Amino acid sequence: MSVLPVPRRVALISVHTSPLAQPGTGDAGGMNVYVWQTATRLARRGVEVEIFTRATSSSDAPVVEAAPGVLVRHVVAGPFEGLDKQDLPGQLCAFTAGVLRAEAMNDPGYYDLIHSHYWLSGQVGWLARDRWSVPLVHTAHTLAAVKNASLAKGDTAEPRLREIGEQQVVDEADRLVANTATEAAELAAMYGADPERIDIVTPGADLDCYTTGSKAKARAELGLDPGERIVTFVGRIQPLKAPDVLLAAAAPLIHRSWQPDSGVPPLRVLIVGGPSGTGLERPGVLIEQAAQLGISEAVTFLPPQPSARLADVYRASDLVAVPSYSESFGLVAIEAQACGTPVIAARVGGLGVAVADGTSGLLVDGHEIDAWTSALESLLWQPDRLAELAASARGHAEQFSWEHTADRLLRSYGQAMRSLESSKHAVLKEHLNHKGALGLDGIGQRVRRSWLRRRNRVGA
């Protein structure tokens, strides 16, 4: 097998959220972590990465050297503040213009490949791909059809606009990157994606940051009681992530454990994150729920934490809960396990890969409160079982590293580049056979037009 080409420079597009933002609030989450970690890993392999993201503050510098080999370009598109993801389709023209202008300041062929993240970015990448004659690799991260098929009670469905936009990007991308085989199957079944164009690339964790350590020390750092059992939720506060399910399920266990003669350690729920998405409509909903359940004193809220501090959160916990209704992978689950903490998660999406059921954690079918209460009880009040899962957690997490993710991305990039070159070569050969009096310049122009027509499935 011949060696696949490697890009010199990649234009990475992340319209709605910057990799420099703190994950856990607003629109910042796992995608931020993914973009940042893969960009820095690619740069260490000699691939220059330039990340295009929307400027959200007048203080954002136009270009930031975020790490060796990684530039972040803040593109002005619409007002700096007051826009959420639902408003951004109206700013895609302005954002695309900023991307094209940045490329136009350099010689042709400056970028070898475009990698877009989320459907908004795919719309931009699709146009830039045709303008620059380079391949487009796209990662969806989440899919509207999947989310709408498993909505939380009372949550708002993803708009039809997004589904249409996703379909267009799926049809146009040269290669699609899926987090798991489940996501790849969803792309094929729900969007008609060609399985031959889908690459399965599992995300990872920063295994140097998220490590095992002293639970007592971590609790002391966070001011948490060393004698309590602690189950933790980490993520954006929104119905999709289902932190309300955890509170409701933990409530009867909290009431029981806080009785003087309970015979079990008091249980505390730790919620780490900030409101996001539809959760912004009621930012205090979990505080209200805890009060209604009579467990306010046993629930601790922390804002989003930087990576090093988040590692202490994981180490301080006896169990981390990921009760999401939909999850393309679940980075929190891998990070927690890397710190030696077992995970209880909903059996949805990529969580079946992120958590080794019965080995590094427990998967729960559905979101029935009684089922979650029973599952929590089966772990929290059985210390031997909890210790057994904790002992296996790190080993499972070590299968998922960002280094491995970067390796697989480079393979996907190489396949996209080779396919494009083969297509261009076929068109060039066709026109050279019929060059007539066009001359080489004329041939070059016709080759590009013919390739675009062929690429967009319009007859040459």
Q: By three-state DSSP, how is residue 58 classified?
A: coil
**85 known member of a binding site:** yes
User: How far is Cα 34 from Cα 334, in angstroms, rounded to an integer?
Assistant: 13
**277 known member of a binding site:** no
Q: Where are the alpha helices (DSSP H) in 223-330?
A: 243-257, 285-293, 307-316
**300, 232 in Cβ contact below 8 A?**
no
**395 known member of a binding site:** no
User: How far is Cα 334 from Cα 349, in angstroms, rounded to an integer?
Assistant: 14
Tokens standing for 295?
A: 């467990």
**142 known member of a binding site:** yes
Q: Where are the alpha helices (DSSP H) in 259-382?
A: 285-293, 307-316, 331-338, 351-354, 369-380
**433 known member of a binding site:** no
**265 known member of a binding site:** no
**22 known member of a binding site:** yes
**241 known member of a binding site:** yes
**335 known member of a binding site:** yes
**147 known member of a binding site:** no
Question: Which residue is listed with tokens 């080999």?
Answer: 69
**327 known member of a binding site:** yes
**102 known member of a binding site:** no
Closest CA to 337 of 364, 312, 319: 319
**415 known member of a binding site:** no
**236 known member of a binding site:** yes
Tokens standing for 336?
A: 């927690």
Closest CA to 216 of 315, 295, 329: 315
**29 known member of a binding site:** yes
**162 known member of a binding site:** yes
CB atoms within 10 A of CB 418: 15
User: How far is Cα 295 from Cα 231, in angstroms, rounded to an integer?
Assistant: 14
Q: By three-state DSSP, how is residue 66 classified?
A: strand
**305 known member of a binding site:** yes
**185 known member of a binding site:** no
CA 99 remoteness from chain centre:
22
- The residue ranges of DSSP E strands in 297-427, in sequence order, are 299-302, 319-322, 343-346, 361-364
**30 known member of a binding site:** yes
**412 known member of a binding site:** no
Q: By three-state DSSP, how is residue 116 classified?
A: strand
**314 known member of a binding site:** yes
**What are the binding residues?**
16, 22-23, 27-32, 85, 118, 142, 162, 236, 241, 305, 314-315, 317, 327, 335, 341
Binding residues for 1D-myo-inositol 3-phosphate are 16, 27-32, 85, 118, 142, 162
Sequence ranges of the binding site for UDP-N-acetyl-alpha-D-glucosamine = 22-23, 30, 236, 241, 305, 327, 335
Which residues are annotated as part of the binding site for Mg(2+)? 314-315, 317, 341
